[in-house]
Amino acid sequence: MHKLLMTTILLVSLGGVTAAQNDPKNIPTASCSFQDGKQITVRYNNETSGRDLPSGRLWTPKGQPMLLFTGTPLIAGNTDIPMGAYSMYIVREKDAWTLVVNKNVSAGNKYDKHLDVVRIGMLMAQLSEPQKEFTVFFGHTEPKQCNMRIYYGNSGTWAEFKEK
């Protein structure tokens, strides 16, 4: 009964977030299934303007946060992330990126650092060929681990999400 209630709440939450977005059919998504079939998904906008990410400031592709949907509790950066929907932002420094996971998923609301769930230092590498579009995808690296990868410009970054 508890699982059914939580699944219903998650689906209602996802429906509200999806309705608030512009035409969801045109918004890229990336997802990863854990060994037990539970899934995490990121919905995001491509950033195709070719401009650099601002250094030291919160950034979102096309001015909208990425959305993380998880049907299972996660651990990221040694922090528990309960099942649900979250906004995600990026902070780029010269040699590092930070992924910010935030509780606020209301369309049009301003970022509030007090609603941050976790800030995850992302591992980074230089790509052999620059990427013109902002791209997010997952690599299923272990039965209970999915690594989210972000490619943009000459940078490739990744963060680990583990199923709790």
State residue 16's pLDDT score.
Answer: 44
Note whether 130 and 153 are within 8 A (CB). Answer: yes
How far apart are the C-alpha atoms of 89 and 161, rounded to whole Å?
A: 16
pLDDT digits (tens, 9 = 90+) for 42-73: 999 886 555 667 788 998 888 889 999 999 99
Note whether 159 and 99 are within 8 A (CB). Answer: yes
State residue 153's pLDDT score.
Answer: 85
137: containing domain? 2-163
User: With the CA atoms of 86, 91, 117 and 80 taken in that order, what torsion angle do they form, in degrees rounded to the nearest 10?
Assistant: 90
* pTM exceeds 0.85: no
Q: Above 90 in pLDDT, residue 28? A: yes
Q: Above 70 in pLDDT, residue 32? A: yes
Note whether 73 and 83 are within 8 A (CB). Answer: yes
Percent of the chain with pLDDT over 90: 60
Count up the domains in the chain and report the number: 1
Q: Above 60 in pLDDT, residue 21? A: no
Instruction: State the DSSP code for 25.
Output: G
| Mean pLDDT score of the chain | 85
> CA angle, corner 47, sides to 102 and 72, nearest 5?
35
**Token pair belonging to 142:** 């272990």
Secondary structure class of 92 (helix, strand, coil): strand
Phi first, then psi: give them for residue 4, nearest 5 degrees.
-65, -45
Q: Using CB atoms within 10 A of its CB, is residue 117 exposed (0-12), middle (13-18) or buried (19+)?
A: buried
- Greatest C-alpha distance within the chain: 50
